Amino acid sequence: IREAISTQANVVTFEMKVPQKSCGRIIGRCGDNIRAISKASKCSISVDRMTDSASPFRLVTIRGSEDQIAVAKSMIDEKIAEDEEARNRMEMALATRSPRLKSKFKKSEGTECAKVPSYERLVPIANDSMLQVYVSAVADPTHFWLQLISPRAVELDHLVDNMTEYYKKEENRELHKLNEVTDGQIVACRVDEDDKWYRGQVCGQVEYNENREESVVDVFYVDYGDSAYQKLSDLLQLRADFLSLRFQAIECAMDGIMPKSGMLEDKWDEETVELFEDMVYTGQWKAISAQVVRYKARQRSNRREGSPVPCVKLYDPDGPPGVDIGQLLIDKGAAKPLQAEENKDDKRDTIPEPKKGVKGAL
């Protein structure tokens, strides 16, 4: 009893700030890492969920003896170092990406395609946690596509290189030649501007010309969110193993804004769309932060029917601290805030958030 009382008397509380971006690795999927650290160190550990999500740091509280706290702190520092090392490796691997030119594809307008289920998901590990993303394509501020900055972004670059190397060979192109395509079919597609091959999805029915190879096909690039009209001759059958990586384009909407006209049904004007494209560095592969606020049901049937659309706030690390890009659009007079009543009117009803820890979370 005396030993238990003595041990209890030595229990102290220690607080440390950790990088917000490292919280995912510290907590782990479904809390696995933080529980393992707590068990190994015999400490009580909590990560503050009330911290401003735009803050670069989050408070971690550790309760135990001084020796136990030292063990827990050391293990948390190891997770932070692991996260930093992994991010540095990814940045080096992704540094060679060329900007995705606007002239390469037609404007992404969310062309309807047959349903395909294997897309990446934008699901944070912890509530209010930030995700590091690229904006790869934009139709307007409430309809754009992100890529997660994760090992899968590096895998995608390797996939494009492998596809390009494979389809450059004439014998392989002959082997995978297509005489016709169907709505929703996943194909390999060559892009003239960089002479690389990408994964695409056929959207809609094709009207074949007398010269079949010259027939025009509407293609959605499943890893980037762009769309383009391509000749049938530039499409090939996709080799089965090139489907192993989930499609990387994640369709999203900015939360809490609507067109400056104040009418939900109005289209965004071109000037605002171009301003938004510049503010989020579309296709430039510059990292920005995304916070998932809620999920909305899709308004019409499309390639991902039944899959919810994340409504997000985006933050530019070089912009005003804690001010999301949606608010900057409002401040510039390019958008208006979306009030709760209007939120119901535009049928962007919040639906249950997908379970955390599913494939696709950082």
Q: Within this chain, do residues 92 and 135 fall inside the same structural domain, yes or no? A: no
Q: Within this chain, do residues 73 and 165 fall inside the same structural domain, yes or no? A: no
Task: Give 25's pLDDT tier (boundaries 50, 70, 90).
Answer: confident
- Contacts of residue 88, defined as CB under 8 A and 6 or more positions apart, other chains included, come to none
Q: Within this chain, do residues 30 and 157 fall inside the same structural domain, yes or no? A: no
| Percentage with pLDDT > 70 across the chain | 78
pLDDT at 52 over 90: no
The number of domains in the chain is: 2
How many CB atoms neighbour CB 316 within 10 A? 17
Q: In this structure, what CATH number is given to the domain that contains residue 223?
A: 2.40.50.90
Name which of 41-55, 70-84, 170-184, 339-353 the model is least confident about: 339-353
Angle at 342 between CA 331 and CA 138, to 5 degrees: 55
Q: Within this chain, do residues 59 and 139 fall inside the same structural domain, yes or no? A: no
Residue 348 is assigned to a structural domain of this protein: no
Among 74, 96, 118, the domain boundary falls at: 96
Q: In this structure, what CATH number is given to the domain that contains residue 79?
A: 3.30.1370.10
Residue 117 is assigned to a structural domain of this protein: no
Q: Within this chain, do residues 313 and 199 fall inside the same structural domain, yes or no? A: yes
Task: Give 337's pLDDT tier (boundaries 50, 70, 90).
Answer: very high
Q: Within this chain, do residues 73 and 154 fall inside the same structural domain, yes or no? A: no
Residue range of the domain that includes 137: 131-337
pTM for the full model?
0.70
Question: In what helix (H) or strand (E) does residue 158 lie, and over which residues does it extend?
Answer: helix 151-167
Q: Which pLDDT belongs to residue 70?
A: 94
For the segment 166-189, the average pLDDT, to the nearest whole number, is 95
Q: Within this chain, do residues 161 and 38 fall inside the same structural domain, yes or no? A: no
Residue 6 is assigned to a structural domain of this protein: no
- Distance set, CA 155 to CA 162, 220, 234 (Å): 10, 20, 24
